[in-house]
Amino acid sequence: MRIHPINSGMTTRLALSIATSLALALPTTAAAASATPAQMTVEIARYFEQCHAVQVCNGSFLVVRQGKVLYRGALGNADATGKAQLGVDDQFDIGSVSKQFTAAAVVRLMERGKLSLDDQADKYLPELPYPDITLRQLLTHTSGTPDVFSVYQQLLVGGKVTAPILGNDAAHILAEHKMQLRFAPGSAFEYSNTGYLLLAQVVAHVSGSDYADFMQREFFTPLGMTHTRVRLPGNDAAIVPRAYGFMVRADGSRKPFDQIANFYPVGPGSIYSTTSDLERWAQALEQGKVMSKQDWALAQTPVRLNDGTTAPYGFGFNLTPSPLGQPRVAHGGDWRGFKADFTLLPRQGIHILMLTNNSQDDSVEAARDAVEAIIAGKPRPQLLEPAHWELYRRASSMNATELKAWLQQESARTPRRYDFPEQPLQQAAGELLRRKDGDKAIAVLEFNRDAHPQSLKALEALANAYLETGDRAAAIAQVRKMLEIRPDSKRAREKLAELQH
């Protein structure tokens, strides 16, 4: 998503004031149930304008109801410079929204009799060191495969990468590093990018063609998805017009936050698309053009674990009901500065498609839920200004105790003016650490921990700040809290061992 630059605190407050004055909610639910599509369009447009005004919504957005467009728009900037404006044809990295495409490729090969979903994966990937994992388990994140991204990260950070990484060596890495399964296949659900790296290689092996070529030939070209492609080293420069990821620092400046050089995670990600092309895909799914309607129903069926319980995930789709209790078929994407959401509300015939590029982690889901509420006749949600810009400004004149008191006061205020998203607060604390204001950074991170008590990232950020300011005992205490929340966290165990060494 791209947003017009609003750099000064004064301008942000003015934008928020304007946005608040526009907050004219739809009538009560009973009255709004008869709202016309034109009225819905007005309300959705006002929501996105307000969201843009508080520096959150920066991207391309499309809302369709019963086959008719309620809202289509692009807001903000195409890159960190703030000079290029976004258009609705700009292509975004869609992150893990890509997984449904990989799943569809596997289903198509199944429909052609080339494979069975209950085939063992090592039938097609002989190097895979796990003989009991099936393709169905890879599709539904129930295989227990460990994370090879951590290996790639070490290679990339260590400067040891001389050729592009596409993930097509994932089976080899799992075997070479003797990586153990996270759990017995089929016994649990745990989201796995590794599983979809492996599935992309199964598609290539079974089809006899490169994964990207298969996707282009079987889906993108026939469905008229002319602005969609698998990003590869050879076509990177050809992705135009294009959105580039960025983040807004606590001081209001911007920095690029686009792709990692030499890294192309094909299968779980690495697809660029537009909201219009994703709408073509959504229609094709529902019309039986991607897979048979019987298999489309199967793809929307929650996975059943070995013990008979289920998890709300199908074949590349999250099946958690919406906040209004409606059936929902969806998937998010989160890669670098890009946050995406692909949501179908089948009972209402609603498609909500959002592509953003300004690193606003939670804003996409919040906007998706707001759109559903508006269409359902609920009052348009109040939009809050992210607190970290004002926080950073106040840090120049407040001590650590005053800064934490201000955060606590504002979070308890009714009505609230500010939102306190986790990642921006951590970024603000990072800027304070770089300014050698360690006590203020810790005050912010302690508040962040209390505001997000189940977040391992919030605890880890606080532990790192304690360590940087010389309080090893406090750092160890935070890592122990991480393990209390998630006893099986390998990262927390390793960090605790490192701190206690």
Give 106-174 as a 3 state SS string. Answer: HHHHHHCCCCCCCCEHHHCCCCCCCCCCEHHHHHCCCCCCCCCHHHHHHHHHCCCCCCCECCCCHHHHH
pLDDT per residue as tens digits for the range 78-105: 999 999 999 999 999 999 999 999 999 9
**pLDDT score recorded for residue 491:** 84
How high does pLDDT run on average in the chain?
A: 91
Residue 66 has a pLDDT of 96
Whole-Å CA distances, 221 to 67, 217, 225, 264, 313: 22, 6, 6, 22, 28
Distance (Å, whole) CA 453 – CA 482: 10
pLDDT over 70 percentage in the chain: 93
Is the confidence at residue 12, as pLDDT, over 80? no
- What pLDDT does 14 receive? 27
Q: Among candidates 398, 395, 391, 499, which has minimal Cα distance to 448?
A: 391
Q: Between the CA of residue 258 and those of 327, 421, 424, 428, what are the distances in Å?
A: 34, 21, 17, 20
Domain residue spans of the chain: 95-374, 385-500
Q: Which pLDDT does position 251 carry in this prediction?
A: 84
Q: Which of 10, 29, 119 is nearest to 380 (CA)?
A: 29
∠175-178-180 over CA atoms, to 5°?
110
Structure tokens at 2: 């791209």
Q: Which residues of 338-369 are buried (b: 16+ CB within 10 A; e: fewer)?
A: bbbbbbbbeebebbbbbbbbbbbeebbbbbbb
For range 55-61, the mean pLDDT: 94
Q: Give the span between the Cα atoms of 477 and 493, in whole angstroms.
A: 13
Q: Rounded distance, CA 383 to CA 362, Å?
A: 13
Residues 56-89 as b/e (b if ≥16 CB within 10 A, e otherwise) read bbbbbbbbbbeeeebbbbbbbbbbbebebebebb
DSSP state, 216? I
Question: Which tokens is 181 given?
Answer: 């399964």
Please determine, for residue 115, whether its predicted confidence score (pLDDT) is greater than 60: yes
Q: Dihedrals φ, ψ of 313, to 5°?
A: -145, 140
Helix 363-375 vs helix 37-53: crossing angle, to nearest 10: 150
Q: How confident is the model at residue 34 (pLDDT cuts 50, 70, 90)?
A: low
DSSP 8-state class, residue 84? S
Write out the two tokens for 325.
């209790």
Compute the C-alpha angle 360/366/370, nearest 5°.
Answer: 140
156-160, 189-193, 283-287, 358-362 — which is least confidently predicted?
Answer: 358-362
Least confident of 64-73, 261-270, 487-496: 487-496
Query: Residue 15, SS3?
Result: helix
Tell me the DSSP string of 307-370: TS-EESB-SS-B-PPPTTS---EEEEEEETTEEEEEEEETTTTEEEEEEE-S--TTHHHHHHHH
- Tell me the C-alpha distance between 50 and 383, whole Å: 7
Q: Whole-angstrom Cα distance, residue 331 to residue 343?
A: 7
Q: What are phi and psi of 365, to 5 degrees?
A: -65, -40
Give dist(CA 220, CA 213) in Å, integer: 10
Mean pLDDT score, 37-44: 95
Predicted confidence band at 252 (pLDDT cuts at 50, 70, 90)? confident
The burial class, CB within 10 Å (0-12 / 13-18 / 19+), for 24 is exposed
**Treating both helix axes as pointing N-terminal to C-terminal, what angle do 456-468 and 472-485 enclose, rounded to 10 degrees?**
170
Q: Looking at the predicted structure, is the pLDDT value of residue 32 above 60? A: no
Whether 5 has a pLDDT exceeding 50, the answer reads: no
The CATH number corresponding to 95-374 among 3.40.50.2020, 3.40.50.960, 3.40.710.10, 2.60.40.1120 equals 3.40.710.10
Active site amino acids: 96
Which pLDDT tens digit goes with each residue over 116-165?
999 999 999 999 999 999 999 999 999 999 999 999 999 998 888 889 99
**Mean pLDDT on 174-200:** 96
The pLDDT confidence band at residue 457, using thresholds 50, 70 and 90, is very high
Fold (topology level) of 385-500: 1.25.40
User: 194 with 150: CB under 8 angstroms?
Assistant: no
Q: Is the pLDDT of residue 1 over 90?
A: no
Q: Is the pLDDT of residue 18 over 50?
A: no
Q: What is the pLDDT of residue 324?
A: 95
What average pLDDT does range 284-299 have in this prediction?
98
In angstroms, the CA 279 to CA 62 distance is 8
d(CA 87, CA 308): 47
* The pair of three-digit structure tokens given for residue 177, joined into one six-digit string: 């590093």
Is the per-residue pLDDT at 352 higher than 90?
A: yes
Name every residue whose Cβ is closer than 8 Å to that of residue 33 and which is 6 or more positions away in sequence.
377
pLDDT over threshold 60, residue 302: yes
Judged by DSSP in three states, 188 sits in coil
User: Rounded to two decimals, what is the model's pTM?
Assistant: 0.87
Q: Distances from the Cα of 365 to the Cαs of 122, 142, 178, 485, in angstroms?
A: 36, 24, 37, 24
| Count of C-beta atoms within a 10 Å radius of residue 302 | 16
pLDDT over threshold 90, residue 249: no
Distances (CA, A) of 256 to 6, 20, 252, 363: 17, 30, 13, 19
Q: Compute the distance between CA of residue 417 and CA of residue 457 in angstroms, rounded to an integer.
A: 25
Pairwise CA distance, residues 248 & 6, whole Å: 10
Query: Distance between CA 96 and CA 225 in Å, rounded?
Result: 18
